[in-house]
Amino acid sequence: MTAASTAAPARLRLRPVVVVLAAAGLAGILSQALLIPLLGDLPARLDVSGEAASWAMTICLVAAAVATPVSGRLADLIGRKRVLVGCLVATTVGSVLCASGGLYPLMLAGRALQGTSSAVIPLGISVLAEVASGIRLQRGAALISATMGIGTAGGVAISGLIAAVADWTVVFWFAAALTALVTVAVVVVVPAAAATERPRARFDGVGCVLLSIGLTTTLLAVTNGSRWGWASAATRGSALGGLVVLVGWWRWERRTTDPLVDLDSAIEPRMALVQLASVLAGVAMFTHVLVLPVLLQHPVDGAAVSVLVAGLCLVPAGLAMMLAAPLGSWLVARSGARRALAVGLFCSSAGYAASAAAVRWPPAVVVASLLIGVGIGMSFATLPFLVVRLTAPEAVGAANGLNTLMRMIGASVSSAVIGALLAASAGSALGYALAYGWGAVAAAAGGVLAVRLPRSL
C-alpha distance from residue 345 to each of 7, 250, 283 (Å): 36, 30, 11
Is the distance from CB of 43 to CB of 54 less than 8 angstroms?
Answer: no
pTM, rounded to two decimals: 0.75
CA dist 274 and 379 (Å) reads 11
CA dist 204 and 220 (Å) reads 24
Three-state SS annotation for 340-403: HHHHHHHHHHHHHHHHHHCCCCHHHHHHHHHHHHHHHHHHHHHHHHHHHHCCCHHHHHHHHHHH
Q: What is the pLDDT of residue 7?
A: 41
Helix (H, G, I), strand (E, B) or coil at 132: coil
Q: What is the pLDDT of residue 6?
A: 40
Taking phi over 0 as left and psi of -120 to 50 as alpha, with beta for the rest, 426 belongs to left
Query: Cα–Cα–Cα angle for 171, 150, 409, nearest 5°?
Result: 95
251, with CB counted inside 10 A (0-12, 13-18, 19+), is: exposed
Give 197-225 as a DSSP string.
GS------HHHHHHHHHHHHHHHHHHHHH
Q: Which of 36, 10, 33 is nearest to 297 (CA)?
A: 36
Q: What is the pLDDT of residue 426?
A: 66
- Residue 456's CB is within 10 A of a number of other CB atoms, namely 9
CA dist 364 and 174 (Å) reads 32
Q: What is the pLDDT of residue 315?
A: 79
DSSP annotation of 191 reads: P
Ordered per-residue pLDDT tens for the chain, 457 residues: 344 444 444 445 778 888 899 899 888 888 887 887 777 677 777 777 766 777 777 788 788 878 888 887 888 778 888 899 999 999 999 999 988 866 788 888 888 899 888 888 888 888 887 777 777 777 787 778 777 767 776 777 777 778 777 777 888 898 899 999 999 999 998 887 655 455 566 777 888 888 888 888 887 787 677 677 777 888 888 889 888 988 988 888 888 877 777 777 777 788 888 888 888 988 888 888 788 888 888 887 777 777 777 777 877 887 888 788 777 777 877 877 888 889 999 999 999 999 999 888 888 988 998 999 899 888 887 887 788 777 776 666 667 777 777 887 887 778 778 877 777 776 688 888 998 999 999 999 999 998 888 877 7
Q: What is the pLDDT of residue 4?
A: 43
Which residues have C-beta within 8 Å of that of residue 13, sequence separation ≥ 6? none
CA dist 383 and 375 (Å) reads 12
CA dist 270 and 450 (Å) reads 10
Q: How distant is the alpha carbon of residue 189 from its chain centre?
A: 24
CA dist 343 and 349 (Å) reads 10
CA dist 282 and 340 (Å) reads 17
Q: Name the CA radius of gyration of the chain, rounded.
A: 21
Is the distance from CB of 431 to CB of 422 less than 8 angstroms?
Answer: yes
CA dist 24 and 180 (Å) reads 10
Q: What is the pLDDT of residue 85?
A: 93
CA dist 112 and 170 (Å) reads 19
Q: What is the pLDDT of residue 419?
A: 75
Give 41-83 as a DSSP string.
GHHHHHT--HHHHHHHHHHHHHHHHHHHHHHHHHHHHH-HHHH
CA dist 434 and 422 (Å) reads 9
Which residues have C-beta within 8 Å of that of residue 66, sequence separation ≥ 6? 115, 211, 212, 215, 216
Amino acid at 369: S
Q: Which domains does the chain have, with CATH numbers?
A: 10-197+260-451 (1.20.1250.20), 206-259 (no CATH)
220, with CB counted inside 10 A (0-12, 13-18, 19+), is: buried
